[in-house]
A and B are shown apart, each in its own frame.
Chain A
């Protein structure tokens, strides 16, 4: 497709389990972002990838969170030993370049529910 694709759309899992969320950015976009949106809240920056540079992990809330971007395209956000406070919508976005005026194109997000 032409847009940012995220999977799964919804994920329900038990506390303590590990989860993987996938993001497939728009072809040709070198910048990729992960955000977390808790219920009724704005977006919280998690991590940023730009080309082959080291990712900016400054927004990751704990060491249970990690992300990879293989081949400069698809990215996976992993949450280990999930907690109930991890329940949120996780949004991925991509853009052409790092330049600040480039708009970010968002996927539909993954709604994660921790029981």
Chain B
């Protein structure tokens, strides 16, 4: 079974600074997809960024980018120029090409200090 581990329960960053959230996963599959979701206090899960395992190039979405290390099974999220609105729970998620479910990590609570 696939597992997703987020080793940082809480992280803090100063506004305008850069922060990196860690995620590792365990799988024996070669074809899969990785996601980062943001969950603000409103509870709605919002897709931040996604990465296909077959792509070597790291995904980027404006201030959000990932460092995908397939051999190390690592998928970290970098937030540049942090904004107050980035404060939320961030969940890393794994989905294989064969299963219907998505495996989520336990989450990292990000605080942005003004």
Contact = CB atoms under 8 A, between A and B. Distances in A.
A43 B50 CA distance: 17
Contact of B106 (A3, A42, A91): A42
Interface residues of A, number: 28
A42 B36 CA distance: 12
B106 A101 contact: no
Contact of A100 (B6, B32, B37): B32
A21 interface: no
Interface string B70-114: 000000000000000000000101011100111111110000000
A45 B47 contact: no
Contacts of B25: none
Nearest to A107: B44
Given A42-B107, A43-B104, 13 more contacts: A41-B107, A42-B91, A44-B104, A45-B101, A45-B102, A45-B103, A98-B100, A100-B96, A101-B52, A103-B50, A106-B37, A108-B44, A109-B44
**Max chain A CB contacts within 10 Å: which of B45, B103, B105?**
B45
Interface in B20-78: 32-33, 35, 37, 42-47, 50, 52
Interface residues of B, number: 27
Interface of A: 3, 33, 35, 40-45, 48, 50, 56, 58-59, 89, 91, 93, 98, 100-101, 103-109, 111
A21 B42 CA distance: 18
Considering the complex of A and B, which 4 residue pairs feature the smallest CB-CB distances, nearest first? Answer: A45-B101, A106-B45, A42-B104, A48-B100
